[in-house]
Amino acid sequence: MKFIVVFLEVLGISKQEHQLNEEIRDAQVRLIGADGTQLGIISSSEALQKAIDAGLDLVKIAPQAQPPVCKIMDYGKYRFEQQKREKEARKNQHVVDIKEIKLGLNIDTHDFETKVSHALRFLSGGDKVKVSIRFKGREAVHPEHGYTLMGKFADACAEKAIVEKPAKMEGRNMLMFLAVKPAK
């Protein structure tokens, strides 16, 4: 039994430690029955005897309470259900990636539309989009052209995206971040 618990802890499944059966050394505990009923404040040895009579475990679920709260339950089944819930939560979790789209200052209309369609596809997948323009040579003298292009790009994506961070110059690059428009 100890080997299984240690193995599960190595996997990171068990993060919360519970005191079980003989490990509970408090003089008195507030006892909750297996069906969820309050059985009152009794000595820990009496609570342990009730758990043994029921064929279940005595588990300290609230050690910080005065007196500590213990519950009679099948601890193995409880741990299994907890692991199942954690696994389900990890499966439903979605990591938001940041996809980058690079534009040139002198981009043609068809290329621009292609980049917009890529951005809309990324946004529909739930990712954020980083739009960047790299200024080469003397292009950096006219950042207003970049702001115009970024505004045009944001307007083209307006049906699915909101501007999370507006266009801003950082050295020779201009960056803008788009995020998925929240559902109403």
Q: List the domains of the chain with CATH numbers.
A: 17-82 (3.10.20.80), 98-180 (3.30.110.10)
Average pLDDT taken over every residue of the chain? 84
- The sign of the torsion formed by the CA atoms of 122, 117, 112, 114 equals positive
CB 66 within 8 Å of CB 30 = no
SS3 34: coil
Q: In angstroms, rounded to a whole number, what is the distance separating the alpha carbons of residues 168 and 44?
A: 65
Residue 72 in contact with residue 28, Cβ under 8 Å?
no
pLDDT tens-place string over residues 8-62: 444 444 456 777 877 888 888 888 888 888 888 888 888 888 888 888 888 888 8
Which H or E element spans position 10? Answer: helix 2-11
CA geometry: angle 92, 98, 101, nearest 5 deg: 140
> pLDDT tens digit string along 68-82?
888 888 888 888 988
- Cα–Cα distance for residue pair 147/177, rounded to 1 Å: 13
